Amino acid sequence: MKETKEEIRERYIEMREALSEDEVVSVSLDVQSTFISSYLFEDAKRIALYVSARNEVLTGLIFTRAMEEGKEVFFPKVVEGEPHLRFFKVESREELSPGAYDILEPSGESEEASLDDGSFDCVIVPGNAFDIRGVRLGYGKGYYDRVLAKVNCPKVALSYVFQMVNEKEEGLLPVEDHDAIIDCIFTESGEFELTQGSM
């Protein structure tokens, strides 16, 4: 019997949460390094980033390097009663505090920018599983899908290699019309080669 989206999601979350702290730190450094060495990071002046939770790939190195190089970085905030993420500029980790779902967020008092205003050079997102087409499986709340549907810059995911679905063994992830497609996926082994256009 074919797995449902929820079953796939839970299976991949369990695998990720089984990682030790040392594994998360070590592998995350490799994933971030592959992105930092890419033209997407080098050419970017304004980036949307996320704060990791539940053993997602860490983003601290990307944030630090972006600050060192004078780039602008915006982090998402969940606002109660609103269906969309809002993004606020952050210049220091001290500006982040626990918010919705106990994830660190900006206060909402700094500069705000809309991801669909054409000013961003890339948007970096987490996920639970990905396939060769760039299909992303999130947490099922739809926050990133709604945001990414309006984005007109590269949509980038940071992923552990094991989060890439093995097409031959598992098939492809189920996809719906509202699901956003990722443009580039970076893992500890490098940039994953996607075959977009085969949807």
pLDDT tens for residues 151-170? 999 999 999 999 999 876 77
Domain that holds residue 180: 5-192
Residue 82 lies in a domain: yes
Q: What is the CATH number of the domain that holds 162?
A: 3.40.50.10420
The set of long-range contacts for 105-109, using a CB threshold of 8 Å and a minimum separation of 24, is: 105/51, 105/75, 105/76, 105/77, 105/78, 106/75, 106/77, 108/77, 108/79
pLDDT digits (tens, 9 = 90+) for 108-147: 889 999 988 888 999 999 999 999 999 999 988 888 888 8
Domain total for the chain?
A: 1
Residue 199 lies in a domain: no
Residue 197 lies in a domain: no
- Per residue, the 3-state secondary structure of the chain, as one string, reads CCCCHHHHHHHHHHHHHCCCHHHHHHHHHHHHHHHHCCHHHHHCCEEECCCCCCCCCCCHHHHHHHHHCCCEEEEEEECCCCCCEEEEECCCHHHEEECHHHCEEECCCCCEECCCCCCCCEEEECCCEECCCCEEECCCCCHHHHHHCCCCCCEEEECCHHHECCHHHHCCCCCCCCCCECCEEEECCEEECCCCCCC
Share of residues in the chain with pLDDT > 70 (%): 97
Residue 90 lies in a domain: yes
Rounded Cα distance, 121 and 118, in Å: 8
Report residue 196's pLDDT band, with 50, 70 and 90 as the boundaries: low
Residue 51 lies in a domain: yes
Residue 198 lies in a domain: no
0.75 surpassed by pTM: yes
